[in-house]
């Protein structure tokens, strides 16, 4: 408190005005004397003996001769900090005086003053430049920012502004207080709040339009309101001629559609790739973004779309967790004001073409961040089996197991509902019937189509019911050891089913999930597959065996070790993997709330088998 920062251009005017009004500018020798009396050097704080004293009395105590009508003692200073005693709080008619050469220097000096001894309290600016005032307000960490008003009266409120009149001024978390408000009688009233049970309505959200069956890509010929198409894909899709198929339909439109291709999407797209694509979009200005490819292309396109429409977004805010997607700390912005998003999957696995999820990878930390918000849901999904005729057997197996994991986790999720259950069960049935056929015979077009449908059906289920710890663990495992996502899910799935089917150590809090029923739900899946399930326990074991048998028929590794993961490296990373999996967004919808040590145990079981 008690400091003034003046622009050099008006410093002479300031000094003349203050001198005319009986303010005393001290020389260096007198400043030293004043420091000795005003600041307690042992306590590094103001001397209480000067508080409330007049400028004349304080000067007399310091051995400085001033007129009896002196109003303020002014000390010209050049630094802020412990080695400049008079830059501290003084609570007396002593004014620290700084002269600065620019706006930036002035605001920086003000920041230093506030940081040194006044975080959260008050700061005043006198300026006619609105931009400077706004910059000052953004940067200074004070609860009250007073503009063109006397500092004392401006801070305590009422006369010069609408602040609550008060001599007790909160400093908020900056100053370790509970509020930045001017404290008044309102803050002394005890308010009782009776919170009656009232929960949000559940909902079911999917893209506005979903087109399926062979040849459905022709929708692009008639899609309304598009003239500039930005295709997000990878080099493999270009080589296969899939991009040409999309361009073929765009070129059949009555009016010409300008197009640009971003084909640099890598597996598990990085933040760098997302930003690069968004920057390219800013230059091209598309009104439709077409995601063509597997999960990576879908994830990349959603991320690019997000930053294309909202270039100032902070990625760290986007990845914040939530318990209720409608009551999150950070709200995703409304999408679609620049462009529509069309998703055309070329693998049968992620379901991303109909979901509110995208996964972005920090390649430096080897961490996958699942982002979730319904604003990320594509506007149009085109499920055309033409694009999955040539998918290799290994990819078919990996992505197919991803579909199965999506559907099973959606069915046992605490957010599962009547609207998602039927979709999840149907997807599971399709996987068990058609995935082995699709894997063994690439020319089985019916099996290819059914698996493509299953992927989207499972996506519609889990975008509304969400997922569980199987995906939480797979995100971290795959990110660290570069295991394909579906394969990482598969090796964990039997162990997660067994774990979730046990009575929880900790119960999950969700108002629609009234009692633990995960074991019953797994048994219901077994019954839907016509597996032995005369008891709940038998149903759970039958499902686990069926999953293992399915994996064996697909020649998939049954353990993490079989995925060529070095044991020592795995053990070194195990504690961090478990901790990160616990913090993954998917964990919140799991039917059993895990302990970190339980996740470690699950990883170990899956490593050795």
If DSSP states are collapsed to H, E and C, what string results for 564-596? Answer: CCCHHHHHHHHHHHHHHHHHCHHHHHCCCECCH
What is the chain's mean pLDDT, rounded? 93
- Report the CATH number at residue 79: 3.40.309.10
At residue 597, the pLDDT reads: 96
Q: What share of the chain is helix, strand, coil (3-state, %, to 5)?
A: 50, 15, 35
**Range of 91's domain?**
3-184
DSSP state letter for 2:
-
CA triple 557-558-559, angle to 5 deg: 95
pLDDT of residue 178: 85
**SS3 of 63, please?**
coil
CA distance 154 to 131: 21
For residue range 39-67, list pLDDT tens digits in order.
Answer: 998 888 899 999 989 999 999 999 999 99
Which of 130, 151, 184 is the C-terminal boundary of a domain?
A: 184
Angle formed by the axes of helices 393-412 and 469-481, to 10°?
150
Total residues belonging to the chain: 609
Q: Measured between alpha carbons, how far is 404 from 350 in angstroms, rounded to an integer?
A: 10
Please tell me the total count of domains within the chain.
2
The CATH code of the domain that includes 287 is 3.40.50.1970
Would you say the C-alpha torsion 526, 530, 533, 538 has a positive or negative sign? negative
Whether 136 and 253 map to the same domain: the answer is no
Given pLDDT bands bounded at 50, 70 and 90, which one contains residue 579? very high
In a domain? residue 466:
no
Query: In this prediction, what percent of the chain has a pLDDT beyond 70?
Result: 99
| Residue 33 sits in the same domain as residue 127 | yes
The pTM for the full model equals 0.74
Domain co-membership, 9 together with 93: yes
Q: Is residue 377 part of a domain?
A: yes
Would you say residue 197 lies in a domain? Answer: no
Of the three residues 348, 371, 388, the one that is the final residue of a domain is 388
Say if 567 falls within a structural domain: no
Are residues 302 and 168 both part of a single domain? no
What stretch of H or E contains 94?
Answer: strand 94-100
Tens-place pLDDT, residues 402-423: 999 999 999 999 999 999 999 9
- The gap between the terminal CA atoms of the chain, to the nearest Å, is 66
- For every residue of 279-345, DSSP letters joined together read HHHHHH--SEEEEEESHHHHHHHHHHHHHHH-TT--HHHHT---SSGGG-SSPPPPP-SS-EEEEEE
According to the model, what pLDDT value does residue 407 have? 98
In the Cβ-directed half-sphere of 588, how many Cα atoms lie within 13 Å? Answer: 15
Four-point Cα dihedral 22, 28, 34, 35, nearest 10: 140
Q: Virtual CA dihedral for 359, 363, 367, 371, nearest 10 degrees?
A: -20
pLDDT in tens, 371-407: 888 899 999 999 999 999 989 999 999 999 999 999 9
Examine residue 478 and state whether it is found in any structural domain, yes or no.
no
CB-based burial, 289-301: b 16+ in 10 Å, e otherwise: bbbbbbbbbbbbb
* Cα pseudo-dihedral 89, 92, 95, 96, rounded to 10: -20
Answer yes or no: is 459 within a domain: no
Regarding whether 207 and 77 lie in a shared domain, the answer is: no
| d(C-alpha 174, C-alpha 242), whole Å | 56
Residue 57, Ramachandran bin (φ over 0: left; ψ between -120 and 50: alpha; else beta) = alpha
User: 448 vs 404, 462, 548, CA distance in Å?
Assistant: 15, 21, 22
Dmax over CA atoms of the chain, in Å, equals 104
Cα(427)–Cα(413) distance, rounded to whole angstroms? Answer: 15
- pLDDT digit string (tens) for 14-41? 999 999 999 999 999 999 999 999 999 8
Closest alpha carbon to 385 in 436, 439, 446: 446
CB 33 within 8 A of CB 86: no
Q: With 80 as the cut, is the pLDDT of residue 287 above it?
A: yes
Residues 157, 286 share a domain: no
Contacts of 299 (CB under 8 A, 6+ apart): 269, 352, 358, 359, 360
Residue position matching structure tokens 């409120």:
157
**Buried/exposed code over 196-229 (b: 16+ C-beta within 10 A; e: otherwise):** eeeeeeeeeebbeebbeeeebbebbeebeebebb
CA distance 144 to 147: 10
pLDDT confidence of residue 544:
98
Rounded to whole angstroms, how far apart are CA atoms 486 and 406?
10
pLDDT band (50, 70, 90) for residue 176: confident
Shared domain check, 237 and 117: no
pLDDT per residue as tens digits for the range 288-331: 999 999 989 999 999 999 999 999 888 777 776 666 776 777 78
pLDDT at 582: 95
Does residue 190 belong to any structural domain of this protein?
A: no
Which pLDDT score is estimated for 332? Answer: 87
Integer CA distances (angstroms), 34 to 15, 39, 51, 97, 98, in order: 19, 8, 13, 14, 17
Cβ proximity of 259 and 268 under 8 Å: no
Given a contact cutoff of 8 angstroms between Cβ atoms, the answer to whether 98 and 78 are in contact is yes
pLDDT value at position 160?
Answer: 85
Can you tell me the distance from the alpha carbon of 440 to that of 459, in angstroms, rounded to the nearest whole number? 24
Q: Which residues does residue 228 pair with via DSSP β-bridges, in sequence order?
A: 258
Q: Is the pLDDT of residue 491 over 90?
A: yes
CA atoms within 13 A on the CB side of 555: 6
Are both 113 and 16 inside the same structural domain?
yes
Is the per-residue pLDDT at 121 higher than 80? Answer: yes
Note whether 212 and 165 are same-domain residues: no
Average pLDDT over residues 187-206: 85
Higher pLDDT, 160 or 579: 579
Q: Distance (Å, rounded) from C-alpha 553 to C-alpha 435?
A: 10
Percent of the chain at pLDDT above 90?
77
pLDDT of residue 372: 84
pLDDT class of 520 with cuts at 50, 70, 90: very high
Residue 585 lies in a domain: no
pLDDT in tens, 231-252: 999 999 999 999 999 999 999 9
For the record, the structure tokens of 602 come out as 């699950």
Closest CA to 249 of 415, 387, 44: 387
Token pair, residue 578, equals: 């478990």
Residues 135 and 248 in one domain: no
Last residue of a domain, one of 355, 388, 421: 388
Same domain, 127 and 261: no
187: tokens are 């803050």
Separation of alpha carbons 211 and 248, rounded Å: 18
Is 179 in the same domain as 207? no
């Amino acid at each position: 408190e008690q400091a003034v920062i003046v622009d050099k251009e008006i410093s002479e005017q300031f000094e003349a005005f203050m001198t005319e009004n009986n303010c005393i500018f001290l020389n260096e020798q007198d400043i030293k004397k004043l420091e000795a009396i005003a600041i307690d050097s042992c306590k590094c704080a103001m001397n209480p003996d000067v508080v409330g004293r007049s400028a004349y009395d304080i000067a007399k105590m310091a051995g400085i001769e001033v007129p009896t009508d002196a109003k303020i003692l002014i000390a010209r200073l050049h630094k802020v900090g412990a080695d400049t005693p008079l830059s501290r709080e003084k609570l007396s008619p002593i004014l620290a005086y700084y002269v600065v050469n620019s706006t930036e220097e002035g605001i920086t000096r003000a920041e230093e003053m506030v940081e040194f001894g006044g975080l959260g309290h008050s700061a005043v600016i006198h300026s006619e430049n609105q931009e400077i005032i706004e910059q000052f307000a953004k940067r200074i960490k004070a609860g009250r920012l007073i503009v063109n008003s006397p500092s004392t009266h401006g801070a305590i409120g009422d006369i010069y502004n609408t602040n609550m009149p008060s001599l007790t001024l909160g400093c908020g978390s900056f100053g370790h207080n509970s509020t930045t408000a001017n404290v008044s009688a309102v803050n002394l009233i005890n308010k009782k709040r009776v919170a009656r049970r009232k929960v949000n309505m559940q909902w079911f959200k999917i893209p506005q339009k979903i087109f399926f069956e062979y040849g459905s890509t022709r929708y692009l010929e008639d899609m309304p309101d598009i003239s500039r198409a930005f295709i997000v894909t990878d080099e493999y899709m270009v080589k296969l001629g899939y991009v040409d198929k999309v361009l073929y339909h765009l070129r059949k439109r009555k009016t010409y559609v300008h197009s640009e291709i971003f084909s640099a999407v890598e597996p598990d797209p990085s933040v760098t790739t997302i930003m690069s694509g968004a920057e390219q979009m800013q230059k091209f200005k598309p009104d439709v973004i077409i995601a063509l490819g597997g999960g990576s292309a879908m994830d990349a396109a959603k991320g690019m779309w997000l930053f294309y429409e909202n270039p100032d977004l902070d990625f760290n805010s986007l990845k914040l967790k939530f318990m209720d997607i409608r009551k999150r700390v950070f709200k995703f912005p409304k999408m679609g004001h620049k462009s529509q998003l069309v998703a055309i999957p070329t693998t049968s696995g992620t379901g991303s073409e109909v979901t509110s999820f995208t996964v972005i990878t920090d390649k430096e930390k080897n961490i996958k961040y699942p982002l979730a918000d319904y604003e990320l849901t594509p506007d149009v999904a085109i499920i055309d089996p033409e694009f999955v005729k040539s998918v290799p057997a290994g990819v078919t197996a990996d992505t197919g197991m991803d579909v199965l994991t999506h559907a099973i986790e959606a069915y046992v999720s605490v957010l599962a509902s009547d609207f998602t259950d039927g979709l999840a069960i149907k997807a599971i049935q399709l996987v068990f019937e058609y995935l082995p056929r699709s894997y063994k015979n690439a020319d089985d077009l019916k099996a290819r189509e059914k698996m493509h449908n299953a992927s989207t059906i499972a996506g519609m289920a889990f975008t509304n019911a969400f997922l569980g710890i199987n995906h939480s663990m797979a995100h971290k495992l795959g990110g660290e050891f570069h295991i394909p996502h579906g394969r990482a899910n598969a090796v964990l799935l039997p162990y997660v089913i067994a774990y979730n089917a046990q009575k929880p150590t900790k119960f999950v809090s969700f108002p629609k999930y009234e009692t633990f029923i995960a074991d019953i739900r797994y048994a219901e899946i077994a019954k839907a597959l016509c597996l032995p399930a005369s008891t709940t326990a038998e149903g759970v074991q039958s499902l686990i065996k069926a999953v293992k048998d399915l994996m064996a028929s697909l020649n998939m590794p049954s353990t993490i070790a079989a995925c060529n993961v070095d044991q020592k490296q795995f053990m070194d990373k195990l504690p961090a993997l478990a901790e990160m999996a616990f913090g993954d967004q998917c964990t919140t919808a799991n039917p059993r709330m895990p302990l970190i040590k339980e996740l470690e145990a699950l990883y170990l079981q899956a490593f050795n088998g």
